[in-house]
Amino acid sequence: MTESENFSNEKNGSAGLNGVKFKTPDNMSREPDVVFEDPDTVFEPDDKITVLTEDIPFIKSLGSPYYPNGGPESQTTESIQNYGDFITFGNYTILFMIMYEFLMLPQMGNMTFMVYGAYTPQVVSCGNHSFEGMVQRDVCAQLPELMNRTGCQPSLTAQFGSLGYELGYYCSQAQLVKRAVSIQMIGVFLGAPIFGQASDWWGRRKVMGVCFLVICILDIFVSRAPDLWSFTAVYTINMIFIGGTSTIMHVYIVENVPKRHRVWIMMLLSFSPNMILFAGLAYVAQEWRALISIAGYLTIPAMILLFMCFESPRWIIENGQFEEAERVIRKIEKWNGTLTEERSRMITELIRKEAAIGETRKKKKQKYYMHHIFYTAQMASWTLTLSFGLFCVSLIAFAMVFNMEQFSGSIFMNSALLGCFRVVLNLILGASDYVFPKLGRKVIYQGSVLYVIVMLSFVAIMKGTGMDYPNLTTIVSLSATGLCSQLFVVKNVIIAELFPTAVRNIAASFASTMARFGGVLSPNLFLLESIWIGAPYLVIVVFMVFNFILFQVTIPETKGCPMKDSMPDKSERLWGQKQKPQHLIERVDTQIAKLADQD
């Protein structure tokens, strides 16, 4: 069958390659004949929201870098290897970014809720005995003896109405709340691989929608918990779904935005600005029940916007739904206003290529599981290195924020300061990644790791030598914690760019699981102060040095590289390797020799 025969007319009912119906280039040239809408579609984006790129001066001023390959008009069929090369920055990308921000705020709020919910109250007096001017460590050491001798009841104060403040967990009892945080983080630990796998099977958007619906219900339910144990039980279940969303969201955005724009978009729409927003919400709420209810209600607009966007075309293609993929891509192009005759042909050619690739895999189509991210020695080294790095970063980030009482000043101001620091760094590094094409992922990541190592080494020395500069310690510690934002973002981008589509979300979920293991341990990291006051910071420094070495040795530069759609050849796999039959090798050698003779 010739190529022209493959592109048979859909009106005549004939099928193209692999049974997939395609429209002819002639049909493409007449816009009324292009089918944009499915009869079952109940939502037409253009009828609901109009976002015109030309009305936004900033976007218009971007010029040719507005598109990853110099603009839709500069793209050719030869330059389009897969859907990642075809995506352009346009109106749909703007809608997608708005949707992602509405997803990120409740997701981040739930993930870091215990920054405020687990805040340890301060004992200011016991009866007539005042502890004004005393360090809480000394207060807690004296309190049991004073209570036994006088029968006094401690008076507590707190910047936020936390669980500890409401339920009376202070001094050594406050560790029960910290342990509750560790238990809840186990939920995230479990949710990341479960829902990462589910989204590879059933789609990113559908699984995220289910997760956010459950989060909304459980947030409202947990706000009425009568005690710490019932709160911990319900919130641990909730964290399973929160862990699922945290994994899927990163893959969803990477698959839907142009590769040149990935880093700055993910840095802009990250935890960083939302930490500032959530600090403001916490200040307004003033107590934990109101704050967790707000986090639950925020999922409602997030779900509405989620279902205004489309399923990831890359996921649809990977699952062999080529007609659906073509329909979705055309709708996105219509949103962007870039559905020209030439790009219509590109879409047809793109789907034809993907269908041809899909046909070669059709007879051996399989679902992929966690062990497939260790398919080759190279993939195994990537998986272990990136997972260990995220474990270290998560240990640092959550240890600092879940023990915010370790720092001087207001919890709200410290959280907002941390968010501001992260936003500034995100904007600088995101803009640098966009403006300087040769500034690779490795440079940004390794530079950030070195900064964290230097700053926390400085804090460990200050603590160990008894240097009392609380404000300086707070600023240095928060600045190092702020760099963790870049480490999270860059590593998630690298994971998405390294691993094939079939296991991309599984790889992300495995790495996220290891990160959550760091989150499980993080609330208890500062218990090491009982051994040596600088021990928590020293442990972090040692881990990060090891992380720096591993990353430098095993991870290649991924910036500008096309995302992989296919798994490596079976001859490269670690288990059950099969040698190529000798007679096949001989036949290939014979053919090569014949071709050489003809030349």
pLDDT per position as a tens digit, 195-240: 888 888 888 999 999 999 999 999 999 999 999 999 999 999 999 9
Query: Which tokens is 434 given?
Result: 């966009």
pLDDT per residue as tens digits for the range 301-323: 999 999 899 988 888 888 788 88
The better pLDDT of the pair 131, 53 is held by 131
pLDDT of residue 78: 53
* Mean pLDDT, residues 13-28: 38
Can you tell me the distance from the alpha carbon of 563 to that of 106, in angstroms, rounded to the nearest whole number?
A: 30
Does residue 435 belong to any structural domain of this protein? no
Percentage of the chain lying above the pLDDT 70 cut: 80
* Mean pLDDT, residues 98-118: 91
pLDDT of residue 68: 40
The better pLDDT of the pair 291, 580 is held by 291
pLDDT of residue 545: 94
pLDDT of residue 57: 35
> Cα dist. 351→161, 327, 431, 509 in Å?
56, 11, 33, 28
Q: Which domain holds residue 133?
A: 122-157
The better pLDDT of the pair 200, 530 is held by 200
DSSP bridge pairs for 122: 157
pLDDT of residue 425: 79
Q: Are strands 122-126 and 129-130 parallel, antiparallel or unpaired?
A: antiparallel
User: Within 10 A of 158 (CB to CB), how many other CB atoms are there?
Assistant: 18
Does residue 136 belong to any structural domain of this protein? yes
The better pLDDT of the pair 1, 561 is held by 561
pLDDT(562) > 50: yes
pLDDT per residue as tens digits for the range 240-266: 999 888 878 878 888 888 877 877 787
pLDDT of residue 46: 34
pLDDT of residue 72: 54
Between 16-30, 252-266, 281-295, 446-460, the lowest mean confidence (pLDDT) is in 16-30
Does residue 58 belong to any structural domain of this protein? no
pLDDT of residue 355: 77
The better pLDDT of the pair 431, 167 is held by 167
pLDDT per residue as tens digits for the range 453-472: 999 999 889 888 878 788 88
Question: What's the whole-number average pLDDT of the chain?
Answer: 78
Percentage of the chain lying above the pLDDT 90 cut: 21
Task: Place 71 in a pLDDT band, splitting at 50, 70 and 90.
Answer: low
The better pLDDT of the pair 364, 431 is held by 431
In the chain, the N- to C-terminal Cα span, in Å, equals 28
Q: Is 155 helix (H, G, I), strand (E, B) or coil?
A: strand
pLDDT per residue as tens digits for the range 180-197: 988 888 888 788 778 888
pLDDT of residue 326: 85
Q: If we measure between CA atoms, which residue out of 395, 365, 405 comes closest to residue 484?
A: 395
What phi and psi values does residue 473 have, to the nearest 5 degrees? -60, -40
The better pLDDT of the pair 575, 401 is held by 401
Does residue 148 belong to any structural domain of this protein? yes
Prediction pTM value: 0.68
Does residue 138 belong to any structural domain of this protein? yes
Can you tell me the distance from the alpha carbon of 65 to that of 249, in angstroms, rounded to the nearest whole number?
A: 25
Q: Is 224 helix (H, G, I), strand (E, B) or coil?
A: coil
Angle between helices 377-401 and 470-498 (to 10 degrees): 150
DSSP bridge pairs for 376: 573
pLDDT of residue 51: 33
pLDDT per residue as tens digits for the range 134-157: 888 888 888 888 888 888 889 998
Can you tell me the distance from the alpha carbon of 170 to that of 163, in angstroms, rounded to the nearest whole number?
A: 10
The one-character DSSP state at 30 is: S
The one-character DSSP state at 569 is: P
- CB distance 253 to 266 below 8 Å: yes
pLDDT per residue as tens digits for the range 389-443: 999 988 888 888 887 777 877 889 888 888 888 888 777 877 787 788 778 888 8
Does residue 176 belong to any structural domain of this protein? no
Does residue 43 belong to any structural domain of this protein? no
pLDDT(35) > 60: no
pLDDT of residue 339: 80
Does residue 137 belong to any structural domain of this protein? yes
Domain count, the chain: 1
Task: Place 371 in a pLDDT band, splitting at 50, 70 and 90.
Answer: confident
pLDDT of residue 77: 52
Between 62-76, 284-298, 342-356, 497-511, the lowest mean confidence (pLDDT) is in 62-76
- CB distance 465 to 408 below 8 Å: no
